[in-house]
């Protein structure tokens, strides 16, 4: 399976279990790795035979900016389901970064990474 990766998609969302997170929001960063067969697109040099990563990026940002959830695990699952709606995408790895998580000790990042595929 071939891979198309999008790294560092940034969007502001209002996800989290604490009222402050819901009210003020924060930046989330998403990395995606889409698994698909790119040979048909490459053979014909045809965008219609692959995944349009620009559209995927817009859809992912819309999920992050959309309805708030408590957990970034839930956010990652919603993002994965949006990606799998694209016909050629057979598998997706989603990593959601929450660099401003409400943690009381110094840290660089908090991430949740999931892999989902078509059944």
Running DSSP on this structure, what letter comes out for residue 46? -
The SS3 call for residue 93 is strand
Catalytic pick from 10, 49, 85, 98?
Answer: 98
Q: Which of 107, 105, 106, 82 is nearest to 94 (CA)?
A: 82
Q: Which of 23, 22, 25 is nearest to 10 (CA)?
A: 25
- Distance in angstroms (rounded) separating the CA atoms of residues 13 and 28: 7
| Catalytic (active site) residue 85 | no
Residues present in the chain in total: 119
Catalytic residues: 98
């Amino acid at each position: 399976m071939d891979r198309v990766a999008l790294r560092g998609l940034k969007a502001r969302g209002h996800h989290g279990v604490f009222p402050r997170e819901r009210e003020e929001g924060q930046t989330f960063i998403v990395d995606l790795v889409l698994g698909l067969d790119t040979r048909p697109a490459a053979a014909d040099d045809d965008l219609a035979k692959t995944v349009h990563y620009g559209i995927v990026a817009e859809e992912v940002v819309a999920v992050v900016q959309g309805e708030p959830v408590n957990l970034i695990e839930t956010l990652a699952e919603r993002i994965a389901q949006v990606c799998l709606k694209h016909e050629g995408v057979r598998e997706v790895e989603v990593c959601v970064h929450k660099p401003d998580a409400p943690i009381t000790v110094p840290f660089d990042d908090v991430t949740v990474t999931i892999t989902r595929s078509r059944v």
